[in-house]
Amino acid sequence: MSIAVRLTEVRGRIAAAARSAGRDPSSVRLVAVSKTFPTRAIAEAYAAGQRDFGENRVQEALQKISASTDLEIRWHLLGHLQTNKARKAGPAFAVIQSVDSVELIEKLEAAAAEAGRSPELLIQVDLAGEATKHGAPPAEVPRLFQAAAACRAARVVGLMTLPPVPDTPEDSRRWFRQLRGLRDGWLSSGVPAAMLRELSMGMSGDFEVAVQEGATMVRVGTAIFGSRNG
C-alpha cells in the first residue's frame, strides 16, 4: 500500500475509535513518526494532507527540517532530549514531547526566548519505571509544572507517556487510563488547564485504545510508513 492509502486507513481507525468513545474525531491529532524514513516519504505523506511529523533524534530531525523548508510542517521531537542539545532543539520544533526535568524546561525556555520562538512542551511521565525509558516519575511532575509557570516563551501544554510495548493493544489501556487519571488529579489540585490540555499516548500498535482513553495526540509510524530499517 502507498503512504497515502495507509494514512487514509489510520485516519479512519482514529475516527472510528473516537466515535466509539463518544468523542469528536477532530479532537485527536495524528503525528506521523518519520524517524529513519527519508524526506521523500515525508513529502508523500505531506501531499496526502499530513502536517504533523515526529522525529526521535535532534540531528536527524534538523537535517530533515532543513530539507523540507518548502513544506509547512509542524515538527515534533519525540525522543529523549539531553539538556546540552536544548539550545538547538528549542527553536527548531513546534512541539517537544519528551520534557522530563526542571533543568530541561529552563534551558528550553532560554533557547526559545533567545530565538523568539514559542514551542509547546509536553511532560513525559514515566509510569512503568522501565530502565530503558526516560520520563519524570509522577511524584516529580508537580515540580515541572512550577518551573513551567515561570516560562514566557516555551509553554507546557500537556503530558506524554511511553508505556511498555504491549503484546495486545488492550495491554496498554491501564497505562493510558493511569495518565488520564493523573491529568484529572492535577487539574483538581489547581494546575492550570492550559498546561494539561494535551495527552499524547498511543502508537501504531495501540493508538485506537489510546483514543478511547482520551488521547489528543497519537504517534503513528509503521502503520503509515511501513517497516523500519533502523
The verdict on residue 91 lying in a domain is yes
Domain that holds residue 176: 3-222
User: Residue 21 domain-assigned?
Assistant: yes
Q: What is the pLDDT along the chain (230 residues), one digit of tens a residue?
A: 899 999 999 999 999 999 999 999 999 999 999 999 999 999 999 999 999 999 999 999 999 999 999 999 999 999 999 999 999 999 999 999 999 999 999 999 999 999 999 999 999 999 999 888 899 999 999 999 999 999 999 999 999 999 999 999 999 999 999 999 999 999 999 999 999 999 999 999 999 999 999 999 999 999 999 987 65
- Tell me, rounded to whole angstroms, the distance of Cα 190 from its chain centroid: 24
The domain spanning residue 209 has which CATH number? 3.20.20.10
Query: Does residue 133 sit within a domain?
Result: yes
Tell whether 179 is covered by a domain.
Answer: yes
What does the buried/exposed string (b/e) look like for 201-213 if buried means 16 or more CB atoms within 10 Å of the residue's CB? Answer: bbbebbbbbbbbb
Residue 227 counted as domain residue: no
Cα 159 from Cα 174, distance rounded (Å): 16
Domain count, the chain: 1
- Cβ(156)–Cβ(144) below 8 Å: yes
C-alpha cell at 156: 507546557
